[in-house]
Structure 1
Amino acid sequence: MTVPTWFAQALAQPPEHRDVVVAGARVAYRVWGPAGAPGVVLVHGGAAHSGWWDHVAPLLPGRRVVALDLTGHGASDRRDRYDPLLWAREVVAVAAAEELDRPVVVGHSMGGWVAVSVGVEHAAEVSALVVVDSPLNDRPPDEERLRERRRPHRVYASVEEAMTRFRTLPPQEVLLPYVREHVARGSLRPVEGGWTWAFDPDFFGTRLLLRDLLPGVTVPLTLLRCEHGLVSAAMAAEMAGLVRGPMPVVELPDAGHHPMLDQPLALVATLRTLLALGSPAR
């Protein structure tokens, strides 16, 4: 497999791994960049983990970038019950632990719902929000199939066997193979008898509706719409109509719902531009 130079260089800048306790549960996170620099917090989607950002975060120069594992995901603890408002508290807590002064919060899919919850419940703690292909649905689409086939994770004899079973939710045909391999490997945890997926199959919980949250957003918000993703142009327009101020919509060309897996450089370029220009005034 040929790995491009930019990807190898990004992974050659490994993050520091830290954690903070929120409401009795350990929340693991990764951090890159110089302390004291303007902050960015990256929030993964459902059933994903902070490692989905490993090749994105190092390419945001001049920033202190934090990517957390929401509880029930990655290396963070599991809870008896999951609450989007508590996930929002986790985002704010890791930002506070790194002394980030009103960071920009970027959320993908279900993580976009969490980011918007942060913007509603903790507006004074953040400067702007970027939502990546989070649709205006009753529940994030990456949960739909999991909810239908809810059962304990299968245990695989080896990492290699498990990695062959890695699938995105929702399914996406185009994945860069070197990104897929890195993300899939980081999605596993050792258990008795082999390896299984790191996320809690019971991470479902109460879901706040995005259409109810958007009118309460008081910080600048930008929507990144993936061309082949789950947010149509009509849905994006509907979402913009729910926000009290302007909501720029930026399309990522030829990107599926998971742009960090098929169009990571387009995603990076867009995030760099938004961070460099700042957000439109409210």
Structure 2
Amino acid sequence: MADDQAALAAPLAPFGGQVPPAPAWFEAAVAQTPERSALAVEGADIELLTWGRVGKPGLLFLHGNGAHADWWSFIAPFFANDWRVAAISWSGMGGSDWRSAYSAELFATEIFAAVEAAGLEAGGVKPMVVGHSFGGFPTLYCAARHPERLRGAIMVDSSIQPPEKRWKGPPPRSGLGNRVYPTLEEALARFRLAPPQPCENLYIADFIARRSLKEVEGGWTWKFDPELWHNFRMPDLGLLLPEIACPAALMWGERSNLMHAETLDYMVEQMPAHVRRLAIPDADHHVMIDQPLAFVAGLRGLLAGWG
């Protein structure tokens, strides 16, 4: 049990800063490096990654809380032959600027600014948007409030609990800031997935962890804004579920601790009947880490079904 807990708390510690071995498919995918740029949105520079040719149908990937655009760098290349693909880092995360205040409306503005900057509508069709975890919340917001601007919206393990079980947010940490680690090795050893879950594909965890850190005076620290959740405004997501007005789907990991039967029943009951549903077997919350190729296959199937 102690070893299991250590693996959850510090999955990369046994590697001592070395890169874990990775399979050929992963190496080939990340070798297809994206074009990196930044776009100005409401006073903040937003990190933008793009793959594929402008003029093809647009596909935008949106990451979860505390993550960054490179969570999609081993997934996006599988779509680049048929799509113009983009991923952003939300403001307050990844390589994007931090803000004094965040909101669903502001994140929707970041979405559509990325659509324009990446040329996701250059092919004459509206873009598809895929959001994982927290990234599914702005995706839902756009599907309900701006459906005319989307070809489709897919939420991936984006948990919306029944009202009586709603998450109340993180514990206070105002003024604490992010810890600075003297060495990259020590910082990598402290990386862990949140919420905690097992991770068999440690080469993916390592890839993500290295891009979650930045070098600062005194060592290395996390890129995300530790005050984001204390400066964030989001409407009641449960009220948005019935308002989904574009083609949409819900994907989730079959083992996800955030998508219990009660949660799924509530979400399905609230969503319109046309919203498609797809569980990824043998996957926890971080579906693209747990079962990356199954996730790609499932997503390809959904996208093909919408034509």
In the alignment, the residues of structure 2 paired with residue 30 and residue 278 of structure 1 have an alpha-carbon distance, to the nearest angstrom, of 25
Match of 2:208 among 183, 194, 198: 183
Q: Normalising by structure 2, report the TM-score.
A: 0.86
- The one-letter amino acid of 1:213's match is L
C-alpha deviations, 1:171-195, integer Å up to 9, x for none? 1112411101100000001111111
Cα RMSD over matched residues? 1.8
State the partner residue of 2:146.
122
**Deviation of the 1:165 alpha carbon:** 0.4
Is 2:219 aligned against 1:194? Answer: yes
Specify the alignment match of 1:174 in structure 2: 199
User: What is residue 20 of structure 1 aligned with on the other side?
Assistant: 39
Aligned length: 277
Q: Choose which of 262, 269, 280 in structure 1 pairs with 2:297.
A: 269
Conserved in 1, the CA contact under 8 Å of 2:173 and 2:227?
A: no
Instruction: List aligned pairs for 1:77-96, cutoff 5 A.
Output: 77-96=97-116
Does residue 32 in structure 1 map to residue 59 in structure 2? no
- Consecutive unaligned residues in structure 2, runs of 5 or more: 1-19
Q: How far apart in 2 are the matches of 1:91 and 1:262?
A: 26
Range moving further from structure 2, 117-126 or 106-115: 117-126
Deviation sequence 1:219-251 (CA, Å, 0-9, x none): 011000211111123422321221234112111
Partner of 1:134: 158
Contact 2:85 2:120 survives alignment (8 Å): no
4+ aligned runs moved over 6 Å, structure 1: 138-141
3-state secondary structure, aligned to 1:147: coil
Percent identity at matched positions?
39
Measure the CA separation in 1 of the matches of 2:98 and 2:24.
36
Give the equivalent residue in structure 2 for 1:216.
243
Q: Look at both structures and tell me which one has the larger radius of gyration over its CA atoms.
A: 2
| Structure-2 change in CA distance of 1:272 and 1:212 (3 Å) | same
**Alpha-carbon distance between aligned partners in 1 of 2:271 and 2:75, rounded to the nearest angstrom:** 28
Alignment of 1:11 onto 2:38: no
1:152 aligns with 2:180: no
Q: Deviations over 1:94-135 (max 9, x none)?
A: 001122121111001110001111112222221111100111
C-alpha separation in 2, matches of 1:177 and 1:243: 35
Cα deviation per residue 1:28-79 (whole Å; 9 max; x = unaligned)?
1100111111111101000011111110000113111111000000011110
TM-score, scaled to structure 1: 0.93
User: How far apart, in 1, do the equivalents of 2:29 and 2:89 lie?
Assistant: 20
